[in-house]
Every structure is written in C-alpha cells, then in structure tokens.
C-alpha cells in the first residue's frame, strides 16, 4: 500500500498557479526524485507536504488515511496540523540548524519537547531523556558525525551541517523524509558526503522525496522520478523511463539543457 498519496494538489500565490492538479504516490521504502527547472513548483510541493504552505485544493493521504483535504476544514485545524507534520521530515536547502545549540542538542531538541507530552514523562523523565540522548548519538553516528557532538553549527563545514540536519529530521522517525535541494547550497567538493548519506538511507529503505538537480544521483538512487514543469507533473516513472527514454518533448528539452550545462 502507498505510504504517501497526493491527489489533485493545487496551490496559488495570488493569481499565480504554482501547483496544478499534482498527483503521485509512493510506496513504503521507495525514494522519489522530483526534478524540474526553478519555478516549476517542486519546492512548493514539498512545503505543502510539510504544511508550511496550505494547499488550495486536493488531498494528502498517509498510509491510506486522509491527513489533509482542502474541502474539509476539519483536517486543517492548527492544533492537529502540528501533529500531522510529524508524518513528514524536511531537510532544507540552507540547513537551518539552530545556531545556539550544539550538534547533539539540535538533533535531540524536538524529541525532548515532544516527550514532555507523554503521560509517563514526569515519572520516568530521566530514563526517557537518557534514551533520547542515546538515540540522537546513534543517529549522528549513522551520518558519520560522532566526533562533532559538542560542536556548534558554525564550526562545521556545509556538508557536515547538512548531515546534522538530516540526523535532526531522522530523529523523529518520519514516515516520509523530504529533501529540498539538499546539496544546492554546498561547494561542489562537499556534495559527495551528503549524497552518500542519502544513498545509504535509500539502501536502508527509508521512504524519501528528494527535490534535486543532481541527475546522476537521481538516476542511481531513486525508484521513481517525477518531472515537473510549470506547476504540473509532466512525466513520472522509473529513472530509466523518465531520464533515459522520456516520452514528452518538454522532459527531453529539460534533460538536454541539463547535460549541456
């Protein structure tokens, strides 16, 4: 069954239609790469999934359950949206780590705050926090940053910061982990370490949606490639189908421009 299903998603900014009837689905453990030129709506789509933008139309389903329906105000309550966000994780292009906290604290902060809502928090506070700390350390180890736990973000390279950001998103164990051009803000020599971490996540069957300009990476890692242009999904399918043998002229034009550049 699909872990994520997006149906007829629409988003307007004023009179500008940024997303027009976007629909796609993703199975558990699958990785989808969303490609397309800037302004095609890729980032807006991710922001809608994470409730940073409110779609004007359409539905979002997770594990078959409707978590957002533009036609049903009951699914849009502020208090519930906060919890629904936890289905998704988001890794930003510009990392957005919290500068005043250490690497370890960046990763454990959100889970500590969420733990306060547990009924047994007051009784088992110490055990719960110790557990979260250990888990945060493990997550950071999995992205290769065990030796940076007590560093502050500004002491790290861009690649390291982005790996912390990935660990921070993973710490809440989201159903779907989203990446918004995770390597676009990095110097070319630093993209490799971040892509490697994402590749390892794909191998461990983490469900992911990755907006990217790295075509080779998309081809190597994604189970599904979605090409967007002008707010619509022009073509979607396996990496071979979309990147090697595209049916649509628009996809072909985009790909030639990319390999030419």
Q: Which residues bind another protein (CB under 8 A)?
A: 50-52, 82-83, 85-86, 88-90, 92, 94, 96-101, 109-110, 113-114, 152-154, 168-169, 172
Strand pairing class (2-13; 224-229): unpaired
Beta carbons within 8 Å of 202's beta carbon, 6+ residues apart: 31, 208, 221, 222
Task: Compute the least distance from the CB of residue 184 to another protein, in Å.
Answer: 14
Residue 22 three-state SS: strand
Among the residues of 22-102, which ranges form H helices?
42-49, 78-84
Separation of alpha carbons 111 and 116, rounded Å: 9
**Closer CB to another protein, 68 or 254, in the complex:** 68
User: Is the backbone of residue 51 left (phi > 0), alpha (psi -120 to 50) or beta?
Assistant: left
**Closer CB to another protein, 210 or 243, in the complex:** 210
Task: Compute the least distance from the CB of residue 50 to another protein, in Å.
Answer: 5
Task: Compute the least distance from the CB of residue 94 to another protein, in Å.
Answer: 6
Task: Compute the least distance from the CB of residue 65 to another protein, in Å.
Answer: 18
Residue whose C-alpha is closest to residue 216's, from 207, 225, 204: 225
**Closer CB to another protein, 173 or 244, in the complex:** 173
**Closer CB to another protein, 168 or 217, in the complex:** 168
Beta carbons within 8 Å of 77's beta carbon, 6+ residues apart: none
Task: Compute the least distance from the CB of residue 82 to another protein, in Å.
Answer: 6
């Amino acid at each position: 069954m699909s872990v994520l299903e997006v149906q007829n998603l629409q988003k307007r900014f004023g009179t500008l239609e940024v997303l027009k009837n976007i629909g796609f689905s993703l199975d558990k453990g699958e990785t989808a790469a969303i490609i397309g030129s800037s302004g095609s709506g890729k980032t807006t789509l991710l922001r809608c999934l994470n409730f940073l933008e409110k779609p004007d139309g359409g539905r979002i389903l997770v594990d078959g359950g409707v978590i957002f329906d533009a036609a049903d105000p009951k699914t849009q309550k502020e208090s519930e949206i906060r919890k629904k966000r936890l289905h998704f994780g988001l890794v930003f292009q510009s990392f957005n780590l919290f500068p005043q906290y250490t690497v370890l604290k960046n990763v454990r902060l959100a889970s500590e705050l969420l733990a306060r809502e547990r009924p047994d928090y007051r009784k088992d506070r110490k055990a719960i926090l110790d557990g979260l700390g250990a888990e945060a350390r493990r997550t950071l180890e999995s992205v290769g940053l065990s030796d940076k736990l007590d560093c502050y973000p500004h002491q790290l390279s861009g690649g390291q910061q982005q790996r912390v950001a990935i660990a921070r998103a993973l710490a809440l164990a989201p159903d779907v982990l989203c990446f918004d051009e995770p390597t676009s803000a990095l110097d070319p020599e630093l993209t490799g370490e971040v892509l490697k971490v994402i590749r390892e996540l794909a191998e461990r069957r983490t469900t992911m949606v990755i907006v990217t300009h790295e075509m080779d990476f998309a081809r190597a890692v994604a189970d599904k490639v979605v090409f967007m242009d002008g707010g619509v999904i022009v073509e979607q399918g396996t990496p071979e189908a979309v990147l090697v043998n595209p049916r649509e002229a628009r996809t072909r034009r985009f790909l030639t421009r990319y390999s030419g550049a």
